[in-house]
C-alpha cells in the first residue's frame, strides 16, 4: 500500500465495535465468541490478517478498571462498607465478570476495525519490538 491508501478510521472502528466486517460493514466479524471469521462471508475480505493479539484484553482491563470499578467503589462506598463480605465479594466479582466478558468482543471488534483502517497486518510482525530483540 502506498501513501494514497486511506480507510476511514471512525467508520472502520464503528463497524468493528458493532461486530461487523470493517471492510463492508455487513457480515459478522466473529463466528464464535472471540473467533474472527478468516474471510468475510459477504465481501470476501481476508480478516485473518489483522492480529489483535493481547490488545483487546489490555483495553478491556483498562476500561473496566477505570470506568467501572473506580466509579463503583466511589459511588457504592456507603453500601460497600455496610454489606456483608459473603454477599459483597461474589456479587462484585460476578458483576465485574459480566461487564468484562460483555465488553471483550466489542473491544476486540474495535481493535480489528482499527487494525484494518491502519492496515496493520501480520506482515508487519517484524516491526514488533518484542520480536526485534531476538
Residue-wise over 109-124: b if at least 16 C-beta within 10 A, else e? bbbbbbbbbeeeeeee
Stretch that binds Zn ion, among 41-49, 77-85, 92-100, 104-112 (CB under 5 A): 41-49
Decide: is 118 part of the binding site for Zn ion (CB under 5 A). Answer: no
Task: Find the shortest distance in angstroms from Cβ 26 to Zn ion.
Answer: 6
Decide: is 28 part of the binding site for Zn ion (CB under 5 A). Answer: no
Decide: is 18 part of the binding site for Zn ion (CB under 5 A). Answer: no
Decide: is 15 part of the binding site for Zn ion (CB under 5 A). Answer: no
* Neighbouring residues of 39: CB distance < 8 A, sequence distance ≥ 6: 45, 46, 47, 48
Decide: is 117 part of the binding site for Zn ion (CB under 5 A). Answer: no
- Residue 94 has phi, psi (to 5 degrees) of -65, -45
Amino acid at each position: 500500500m502506498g501513501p494514497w491508501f486511506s480507510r476511514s478510521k471512525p467508520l472502520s472502528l464503528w463497524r468493528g465495535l458493532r461486530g461487523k466486517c470493517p471492510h463492508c460493514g455487513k457480515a459478522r466479524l466473529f463466528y464464535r465468541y472471540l473467533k474472527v471469521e478468516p474471510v468475510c462471508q459477504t465481501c470476501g475480505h481476508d480478516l485473518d490478517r489483522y492480529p489483535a493479539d493481547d490488545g483487546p484484553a489490555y483495553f478491556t482491563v483498562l476500561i473496566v478498571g477505570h470506568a467501572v470499578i473506580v466509579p463503583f467503589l466511589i459511588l457504592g462506598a456507603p453500601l460497600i462498607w455496610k454489606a456483608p463480605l459473603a454477599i459483597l465479594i461474589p456479587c462484585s466479582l460476578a458483576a465485574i465478570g459480566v461487564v468484562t466478558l460483555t465488553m471483550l468482543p466489542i473491544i476486540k471488534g474495535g481493535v480489528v476495525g482499527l487494525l484494518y483502517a491502519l492496515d496493520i497486518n501480520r506482515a508487519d510482525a517484524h516491526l514488533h519490538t518484542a520480536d526485534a530483540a531476538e
